[in-house]
């Protein structure tokens, strides 16, 4: 639950309001005499955007890691792209307003990229839209970035949509809650990140921005959010506010991180919980929550810092001897790494039709100029921190593993010569249909498996991951049978298997998963204490009986009912 002042990230989301500059209407044609004025307005907006972004980036650098700052710098690189800037000034010189020029130039760029088949580059158009909206908001006199002067700390961030990277950038001064008009699935990266940071989030709030826009109180509007029930109250009266604040007090988490060992029941099945992280600074939060290491480091969130040795060293050092599983770049889907904009290795990527539809490891293998610097950085960090392991995303064939190991070997020799030390362990994510079919073969080549249930469940359902609600498949016989089968393949080959998708964080399902033989789970830090507590009461006999019962149930509803009865 959360309460706070509403902060609409992008005033453009509020439409044409009477507190915006008249010129923000976007269709105003400027008279000849206004051309210089318009150019100056645009330059001022750009400068203000630069100052705001630089201030925020440097404060992020002091408070957390370079990776957060790099995300914003990537934004700035787009805003100051000389080709775009020249185009905007050219359109203004035709007598158009700054808003029209920014809209036209950025939209043309988005269209151009959207026409390219490569899914990663298509997704990059989202970065450009974000920067366009930020510049338009600047022209309208709005403050766009969380963490800037009036800050997002303690505010309820509202918008039509919010980029997960904006949230990642506000990690040192997080908002109290997030509200979006657009639907974001449980598995979207925005939702995953919000859960990791324990920020309540409610989506699909159609009409919210209109209500805010129509309110006289919009500049100081208080909002109450209950992330559990999805209830959002804008501009509450005194009595509602008091009632909510009392409920909020009752909702305070108790002693969530009581150590498992204290009351561990001797007959409980031993299971291990690890953390999913997106930024190095989160590694210590995993330990504080009682995690036994990091089972998934989503390195695409490092943005431009994906090849920065220090990021890997910082996370590895924070964990002591506990494992750090570094997943190599997984680009595509709803992952929109703004920090990549300025990377020369990306120039021309996607121009080739054959590159369409690649994601994860296939994309990286097709772009060694991009992949090698990351592998080198991980290997350099591994030379100091032996708790690092490498994991490959979206593997489809054993050749993905073979080729990556060859490349790793090459990087290792380039770095350390013929006496290069042995490579770290290399594991494989099982999250594509092909990987499920080939699990036995992959198990021969991989040092460990990690099941990415977010992508896997969407693949089983044959749905687009971003707009798909995985909960409808969480208790589906197909999902459960596939999880069981992958674990068996790992067991047969004698390699560890971890479950690192969001399904792992469902306490209701945990006893059944233990019954299917799963022993390792990697989840966002806030889920660890509750799951550990739940696991304490699960004996081998109880879990096996439950798994057997569930296997014979034909519908997800019946499975859920059986799980509820068990709990």
State in angstroms the smallest separation of the CB of 202 from Mg ion: 24
Query: For Mg ion, which is the closer residue by CB, 96 or 465?
Result: 465
353, 357, 361, 365 alpha-carbon torsion, rounded to 10°: 0
Residue 74 touches which of ligand PEP, Mg ion, none (Cβ within 5-8 Å per kind): none
DSSP bridge pairs for 428 = 392, 449
DSSP letter at 301 equals G
362, 367, 368, 370 alpha-carbon torsion, rounded to 10°: -110
Query: For ligand PEP, which is the closer residue by CB, 81 or 431?
Result: 431
Query: For Mg ion, which is the closer residue by CB, 12 or 359?
Result: 359
Query: For Mg ion, which is the closer residue by CB, 235 or 455?
Result: 455
CB atoms within 10 A of CB 231: 12
Q: How far apart are CA 122 and CA 215, in angstroms?
A: 37
State in angstroms the smallest separation of the CB of 501 from ligand PEP: 3
Residue 164 touches which of Mg ion, ligand PEP, none (Cβ within 5-8 Å per kind): none
Query: For ligand PEP, which is the closer residue by CB, 79 or 429?
Result: 429
Q: How far apart are CA 257 and CA 424, in angstroms?
A: 32
Residue 389 touches which of Mg ion, ligand PEP, none (Cβ within 5-8 Å per kind): none
State in angstroms the smallest separation of the CB of 454 from ligand PEP: 3
8 A C-beta contact, residue 271 and residue 520:
yes
Residue 337 touches which of Mg ion, ligand PEP, none (Cβ within 5-8 Å per kind): none
State in angstroms the smallest separation of the CB of 465 from ligand PEP: 8
- The site for ligand PEP (CB under 6 A) is made up of 296, 298, 330, 431, 452-455, 500-501
Query: For ligand PEP, which is the closer residue by CB, 296 or 426?
Result: 296
Query: For ligand PEP, which is the closer residue by CB, 4 or 119?
Result: 119
Residue 453 touches which of ligand PEP, Mg ion, none (Cβ within 5-8 Å per kind): ligand PEP
8 A C-beta contact, residue 133 and residue 12:
yes
Query: For Mg ion, which is the closer residue by CB, 81 or 455?
Result: 455
Residue 500 touches which of Mg ion, ligand PEP, none (Cβ within 5-8 Å per kind): ligand PEP
Edge-to-edge strands, sheet with 222-226: 201-202, 177-180, 156-159, 2-8, 222-226, 231-234
Residue 523 token pair: 């989840």
State in angstroms the smallest separation of the CB of 428 from ligand PEP: 13
- The site for Mg ion (CB under 5 A) is made up of 431, 452, 455
Counting DSSP H helices and E strands in the chain, the numbers are: 24, 14
State in angstroms the smallest separation of the CB of 504 from ligand PEP: 9
Structural element, H or E, at residue 318: helix 309-318
SS3 of 486-523: the string is HHHHHHHHCCCEEECCHHHHCCCCHHHHHHCCCCEEEE
State in angstroms the smallest separation of the CB of 354 from ligand PEP: 24
- Measured N-to-C along each axis, helices 98-114 and 119-139 cross at an angle, to the nearest 10 degrees, of 170
Residue 298 touches which of Mg ion, ligand PEP, none (Cβ within 5-8 Å per kind): ligand PEP
Residue 323 touches which of Mg ion, ligand PEP, none (Cβ within 5-8 Å per kind): none
State in angstroms the smallest separation of the CB of 431 from Mg ion: 5
Query: For Mg ion, which is the closer residue by CB, 118 or 431?
Result: 431
User: Alpha carbon of 490 to those of 204, 293, 345, 404, 438: distances in Å?
Assistant: 39, 20, 36, 20, 12
Residue 161 touches which of ligand PEP, Mg ion, none (Cβ within 5-8 Å per kind): none
Q: How far apart are CA 522 and CA 276, in angstroms?
A: 6
State in angstroms the smallest separation of the CB of 502 from ligand PEP: 7
In the three-class reduction of DSSP (H, G, I as helix; E, B as strand; rest coil), residue 380 is classed as helix
């Amino acid at each position: 639950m959360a309460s706070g002042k509403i902060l609409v990230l992008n005033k453009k989301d509020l439409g044409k309001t009477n507190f915006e500059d008249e010129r923000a209407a976007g269709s105003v044609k400027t008279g000849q005499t206004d051309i210089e004025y318009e150019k100056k307005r645009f330059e001022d907006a750009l400068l203000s955007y630069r100052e705001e972004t630089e201030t925020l980036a440097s404060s992020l650098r002091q408070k957390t890691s370079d990776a957060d700052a790099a995300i914003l710098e990537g934004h700035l690189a787009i805003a100051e792209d000389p080709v775009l800037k020249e185009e905007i000034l050219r359109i203004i010189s035709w007598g158009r307003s700054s808003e029209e020029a920014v809209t036209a130039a950025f939209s043309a760029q988005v269209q151009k990229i959207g026409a390219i088949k490569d899914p990663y580059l298509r997704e990059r158009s989202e970065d450009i839209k974000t920067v366009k909206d930020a510049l338009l908001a600047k022209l309208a006199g709005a403050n766009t970035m969380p963490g800037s002067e009036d800050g997002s700390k303690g505010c309820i961030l509202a918008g039509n949509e919010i980029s997960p990277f904006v949230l990642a950038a506000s990690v040192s001064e997080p908002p109290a809650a997030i509200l979006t008009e657009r639907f974001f699935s449980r598995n979207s990266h925005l939702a995953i990140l919000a859960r990791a940071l324990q920020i309540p989030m409610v989506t699909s709030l159609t009409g919210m921005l209109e209500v805010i826009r129509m309110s006289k109180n919009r500049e100081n509007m208080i909002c109450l959010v209950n992330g559990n029930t999805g209830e959002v109250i804008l501009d509450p009266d005194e009595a509602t506010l008091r009632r909510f604040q009392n409920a909020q007090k009752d909702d305070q988490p108790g002693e969530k991180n009581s150590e498992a060992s204290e009351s561990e029941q001797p007959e409980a099945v031993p299971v291990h919980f690890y953390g999913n992280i997106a930024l190095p600074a989160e590694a210590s939060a995993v330990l504080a929550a009682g995690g036994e290491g990091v089972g998934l480091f989503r390195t695409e969130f490092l943005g431009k810092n994906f090849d920065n040795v220090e990021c890997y060293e910082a996370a590895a050092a924070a964990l002591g001897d506990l494992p750090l599983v570094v997943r190599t770049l997984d680009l595509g889907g709803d992952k929109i790494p703004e920090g990549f904009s300025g990377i020369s290795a990306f120039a021309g990527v996607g121009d080739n039709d054959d590159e369409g539809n690649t994601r994860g490891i296939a994309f990286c293998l097709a772009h060694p100029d991009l992949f090698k610097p990351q592998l080198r950085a991980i290997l350099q960090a591994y030379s100091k921190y032996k708790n690092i392991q490498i994991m490959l995303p979206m593997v489809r064939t054993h050749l993905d593993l073979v080729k990556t190991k060859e490349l790793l070997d090459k990087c290792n020799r380039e770095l350390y010569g013929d006496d290069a030390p042995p490579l770290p362990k290399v594991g494989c994510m099982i999250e594509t249909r092909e990987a499920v079919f080939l699990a036995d073969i992959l198990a021969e080549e991989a040092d460990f498996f990690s099941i990415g249930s977010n992508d896997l469940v969407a693949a089983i359902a044959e749905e687009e991951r971003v707009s798909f609600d995985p909960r409808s498949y969480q208790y589906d016989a197909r999902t459960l049978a596939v999880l069981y089968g992958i674990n068996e393949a790992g067991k047969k080959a004698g390699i560890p298997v971890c479950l690192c998708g969001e399904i792992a964080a469902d306490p209701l399902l945990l006893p059944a998963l233990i019954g299917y033989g799963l022993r390792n789970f990697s989840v966002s830090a806030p889920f660890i204490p509750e799951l550990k507590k739940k696991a304490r009461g699960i004996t081998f006999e109880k879990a096996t009986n439950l798994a057997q019962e569930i296997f014979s149930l034909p519908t997800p509803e019946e499975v859920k009912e059986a799980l509820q009865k068990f709990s």
